[in-house]
Amino acid sequence: MVALTKRNERLSKTRIADMIDKAGDTSGYPRYYLGMSGLGNSCMRALWFGFRWPHKGSISGRTNRIFNVGHAAEHDLVKSLESVGIECWNVCEDQDEFVDGHGYIKAHPDGYARNIPGAEKTVHLLEFKTMNDKSFKDTVKKGVEVSKPIYYAQMVLYMYKKGLTRALFMAVNKNDSSYYLERIKNNDSFAKELLSKGQDIIFSENFNDFPRIGTNKQSWYECKWCNYSDVCFGDNSGLESNCRNCSDCNLLGEGKFACGKDSDRVLKVEEQQEGCEKHDYLECFK
């Protein structure tokens, strides 16, 4: 029997970790609506692709674990706020829903709070985040608006939709469990700009309506990890036909998609994902 050396022991552990990561990989089409939380993204093309589904996206097992850590942390963050007398509601599994853009733009805020020290009577929107040490320290140093503009845009939108004037941003450092809290003021004019941006994305049938970001090259750091970098830069080999990228897919309002080849029959999400043999790609994909 061959002795298990330290090197083999190390390789075995690495192999197990790799197997776990692979087992946690997921693939599928994005959410069926345009997420309000992403409207602060600088790349409107990426948002357009996420709405029109050129192909399935993939999420690594490690990334899925990061998401799960964030979801699980919300319960602890709420308990921490409540421990100092802050009242919280519509949190965790009881989240509110906002709808805009004729039903095609949606959001689910983390919750609301009252009795914030120094502003006891003001109802605040709640926004929870988990961060690694580097990201956390940058947010502490620069503030949310500068360090995390997507989070800032998210809160501004949610405040506008709920008619609130303040948000409480709360982040936890995953390295040492320290907290950072910041009160954010509403910015209704910016929120309206973001919703207008969302409408432009929804009613566009051509990703070329929106310019590329950065250097306009696929080597740009944000493009390298984008799920849609291939089609954005002209490689259509991975296209997957479905109703969302079909020229006969019509938007009826109220978040409904319909088949123009079938007398505008309203399509369920599962049908949109499946497509049919009469599929005809949008012109921008040809």
Q: Would you say 257 and 53 are in contact if contact means Cβ atoms under 8 Å apart?
A: no
What is the fold, at CATH topology level, of the domain defined by 241-286? Ubiquitin Ligase Nedd4; Chain: W; (2.20.70)
Question: Could you state, in order of their start, the residue ranges of all structural domains in the chain?
Answer: 74-189, 241-286
Q: What is the pLDDT of residue 5?
A: 55
Token representation of residue 79: 């308990």
Q: Which CATH class is domain 74-189?
A: alpha beta
Task: Report pLDDT digits (tens) over 147-161.
Answer: 999 999 999 999 999
List of the chain residues with pLDDT < 50: 1-2, 4
Q: What is the pLDDT of residue 10?
A: 60
Q: What is the pLDDT of residue 2?
A: 46
Q: Would you say 245 and 285 are in contact if contact means Cβ atoms under 8 Å apart?
A: yes
This prediction's pTM = 0.89
Q: What is the pLDDT of residue 170?
A: 98
Instruction: Give the residue among 82, 93, 181 at the shortest CA–CA distance from 131.
Output: 181
Calculate helix-pair angle for 188-202, 44-52, nearest 10 degrees: 50
Q: What is the pLDDT of residue 23?
A: 78
Mean pLDDT of the chain: 92
Task: Report pLDDT digits (tens) over 164-205.
Answer: 999 999 999 999 999 999 999 999 999 999 999 999 999 999
Instruction: Give the residue among 185, 195, 166 at the shortest CA–CA distance from 40.
Output: 195
